A and B are shown apart, each in its own frame.
Chain A
Amino acid sequence: MSDQATDRTVPQMITGRFQYDDAHTIERYQATDGYAALRTALQMHPEDVHAEIKEASLLGRGGAGFPAGVKWGFCPPGVWPRYFVVNGDESEPGTYKDRLLMERDPHQLIEGVLIGAYATGCAQAFLYVRGEMALAQERIAAALNEAYAAGLVGKDILGSSFSCDIVLHWGAGAYIVGEETALIESLEGNRGMPRLKPPYFPAAKGLYMQPTIVNNVETMANVPWIIRNGAEAYTAYGAESSRGTRMFAVSGHVKKPGVHEVEFGTTTFRDLIYGHCGGIRGNHTLKAFIPGGASAPWFYEEHLDLPLEAGAVGAAGSMLGSGAIVVMDDTTDAVKAAWRVVRFFARESCGKCTPCREGTSWLEKVLRRMLDGQGRPEDIALLLDLCDNISPSIAWPPKQTTICPLGPSAVSPIASAIMRFKPEFQAYCGGGDVPTSVTINGKAYLPPEGAPAGV
């Protein structure tokens, strides 16, 4: 199945309990090493707990891949109180892992948060769960109620001097709230619009302008395993730049779509798509795949042997993002798929920055016009011109004209689709050899064919 001949078994570090139907109960959790890591951590000095996570090189699993241990160190000394916030607002198209972790193993998340709050000196934690995820909210509420009753959360946890409330908070439907400063705005009771940077890190100034650690659900789910088994055991898995395991959701035109926890940084796209997921459905062939959520430029056949590692994927012109792989076979209409991705960004733009608010909705309208049979010869150049206005030079990684990456994120997938499937776009614009270049700063510009997203 895997290209690498390995004889060792990679542990299911965060999905191991999914085999039990009652994994969400405190009984099952405690019977399967649950809260052992919290007990261990409370015997350690908070700085040592922090050092262990840093040593493990645990990368953030929300999309940006920033090392959690480093982020935890950004809190300015002597500024109190600090807050711990978990980002459970999973909404990136194709991403399906945090909902599973919250529904199936909520105690694992709670334990991770407690250890994180202990290590960083946070006096209060908030679990921000996506509004639409009713079952996750129920499971977390029940788990918190059990954990409070067992003395595991709240005042003097397990008889120690560590006290921390965990408050279950939930959103009400807005993708942009996944951006950490927007999430903080939302947690303050405001419209979920990203904050102007600097300050770049909420760890310096976050909730109520106090130091705030914001981590993704999957990131925190890894913490109990690391403390239980040690950073050394953790770094025995994965590539040097990407330790441990990671969850990937493979959806779309594969025989067996599914969510898999695999070794991070060494597993390839081919292992996942053709191994775990059985390959392309029916007698079809691969047309394209999205390697890391809707914001990621598309990948093709020639990228299948790339490892699931941020550096390698980034160098090839896309991003690993949130572990969302969407596979498209040869029956897929590239223009339609591009339109659907752009419509998402147009609908979810918060409206704060003009290039994103106007640009994404223009892109959506032009693509919709093409699909409706009203494409004009100049439309491809117009699309690229719009892309350039939202993200100058359509560069990768995108250059930002906006406060947050949402608008520029819409550009790269479109540009990559236009370059790869030019004849399909041309066919919607009256066919023939319609212009596909655009003049930028007086220079005719055409993204090179080889690069998924421009220059």
Chain B
Amino acid sequence: MPRFTAENTILAKEIIARYPHPKSALIPLLHLAQEQDGHLAEDAMVHIAELIDHTPAEVIGTASFYEMFKREPVGDYLINVCTNIACMLMGGEELLHHLEDRLDIRPGSTTADGMFTLEDVECIAACTEAPCLTVNYRYFHKISTDEADQLLEDLRAGRRAHEIPKHGTLARVRQSIPADRRAGAAVPGECGQPVWMTPKDESEDAPA
């Protein structure tokens, strides 16, 4: 049950420094832990609690609210099928049932080989492209049952690995704020009126 690696600990500290209060970094750090281990390992949450100076209970309290955080291992590929209204009208339920049959699992469970987890999810903002699904949060629009079969085959054969990272990795590009360009976190109690907010009459009197 791993804690953050040395490299991720440095990254975690960088992320914390962006916020006026360390606890604001909690969700990004939980994502980082999930990226490292594929799910939220108990020790990683304890490590996060230490880094943001809160209790493990508070970390778990926040983590358990959000659907994307998995406290048990999930498959390499998390398939989320939208069945909300726009997708339902266009065959989202049929697509879900088709995948249930093909994978021989019910939504919320993982195939025996640990490759796929299937979920029945709410609107994923692709309504004009219904029915749609995501695999590890990569979108597949207007997908037929035949195309879904092909997708499963491709995933099994590793043919989509270049576009779909393993579960836990969200953005493959990270924000990085260069030290010489950083304005710094605006910490309450430490910040006064910003310099560019000089009242209008004063600034008009000032020489241009």
Q: Chain B 26-59, CB within 8 Å of chain A: the 1/0 string?
A: 1110110000000000000000000010100000
B127 touches A93 (CB 8 A): yes
B66 touches A94 (CB 8 A): no
Interface positions, chain A 80-132, Cβ under 8 Å from B, are 80-81, 83, 90-96, 98-99, 118, 121-124, 130-132
Supposing A132-B134, A188-B21, A257-B129 touch, asked if A167 and B181 sit within 8 A by C-beta, the answer is no
Q: Chain B 183-207, CB within 8 Å of chain A: the 1/0 string?
A: 1111110011111110010010000
A130 nearest CB across to chain B (Å): 7
Supposing A189-B24, A252-B90 touch, asked if A164 and B183 sit within 8 A by C-beta, the answer is yes
Decide yes or no whether A19 CB sits under 8 A from chain B. no
Which residues of B are found within 8 Å of A130, using beta-carbon distances?
A: 125
Which residues of A are found within 8 Å of B181, using beta-carbon distances?
A: 148-149, 151, 153-155
Decide yes or no whether B162 CB sits under 8 A from chain A. no
**Among listed B78-86, B105-113, B145-153, interface-contacting one:** B78-86
Q: Chain A 305-332, CB within 8 Å of chain B: the 1/0 string?
A: 0000000000000000000101010001
Neighbour of A134 across the interface among B170, B180, B184, CB < 8 A: B170
> What is the CA–CA distance of A175 and B66 in the complex, to the nearest angstrom?
10
> What is the CA–CA distance of A170 and B65 in the complex, to the nearest angstrom?
14
> What is the CA–CA distance of A162 and B92 in the complex, to the nearest angstrom?
48
**Among listed A139-147, A419-427, A447-455, interface-contacting one:** A139-147
Supposing A138-B172, A163-B183, A189-B52 touch, asked if A172 and B27 sit within 8 A by C-beta, the answer is yes
Interface positions, chain A 337-389, Cβ under 8 Å from B, are 337, 340-341, 344, 347-348, 350
B86 nearest CB across to chain A (Å): 4
Which residues of B are found within 8 Å of A189, using beta-carbon distances?
A: 21, 23-27, 52, 54, 62
A96 touches B125 (CB 8 A): yes
> What is the CA–CA distance of A172 and B31 in the complex, to the nearest angstrom?
8
A-B contact count (CB 8 A): 233
B33 nearest CB across to chain A (Å): 12
Supposing A192-B66, A341-B85 touch, asked if A118 and B196 sit within 8 A by C-beta, the answer is yes
Decide yes or no whether A438 CB sits under 8 A from chain B. no
A332 touches B171 (CB 8 A): no
A345 nearest CB across to chain B (Å): 10
B197 touches A121 (CB 8 A): yes
Decide yes or no whether B67 CB sits under 8 A from chain A. yes
A332 touches B183 (CB 8 A): no
A294 touches B68 (CB 8 A): no
Which residues of B are found within 8 Å of A78, using beta-carbon distances?
A: 193
> What is the CA–CA distance of A130 and B68 in the complex, to the nearest angstrom?
11
Kindly report which residue of chain A lies nearest to residue B83, judged by CB atoms: A340
Decide yes or no whether A6 CB sits under 8 A from chain B. no
Which residues of B are found within 8 Å of A135, using beta-carbon distances?
A: 138-139
A51 nearest CB across to chain B (Å): 10
Which residues of A are found within 8 Å of B139, using beta-carbon distances?
A: 135
Which residues of A are found within 8 Å of B185, using beta-carbon distances?
A: 124, 165
> What is the CA–CA distance of A153 and B196 in the complex, to the nearest angstrom?
15
A340 touches B30 (CB 8 A): no
Interface positions, chain B 94-144, Cβ under 8 Å from A, are 122-130, 134, 136-139
Decide yes or no whether B89 CB sits under 8 A from chain A. yes
Kindly report which residue of chain B lies nearest to residue A208, judged by CB atoms: B188
Kindly report which residue of chain B lies nearest to residue A156, judged by CB atoms: B183
Which residues of B are found within 8 Å of A133, using beta-carbon distances?
A: 125, 137
Which residues of A are found within 8 Å of B175, using beta-carbon distances?
A: 140-141, 144-145, 167-168
Decide yes or no whether A259 CB sits under 8 A from chain B. yes
A428 nearest CB across to chain B (Å): 17
> What is the CA–CA distance of A340 and B87 in the complex, to the nearest angstrom?
11
> What is the CA–CA distance of A336 and B67 in the complex, to the nearest angstrom?
25
> What is the CA–CA distance of A396 and B50 in the complex, to the nearest angstrom?
49
A94 touches B86 (CB 8 A): yes
Decide yes or no whether B178 CB sits under 8 A from chain A. yes
Decide yes or no whether B18 CB sits under 8 A from chain A. yes
Q: Chain B 143-179, CB within 8 Å of chain A: the 1/0 string?
A: 0000000000000000000000000001111111110
Which residues of A are found within 8 Å of B127, using beta-carbon distances?
A: 93-96, 249, 251-252, 257, 324, 326
B68 touches A173 (CB 8 A): yes
Besides A123-B183, A173-B67, 5 other A-B contacts (C-beta < 8 A): A141-B174, A148-B177, A190-B23, A208-B20, A340-B84
Please name the 7 residue pairs, one residue from A and one from B, whose CB atoms are nearest each other, closest first.
A173-B67, A189-B26, A172-B66, A189-B23, A251-B127, A123-B186, A81-B186
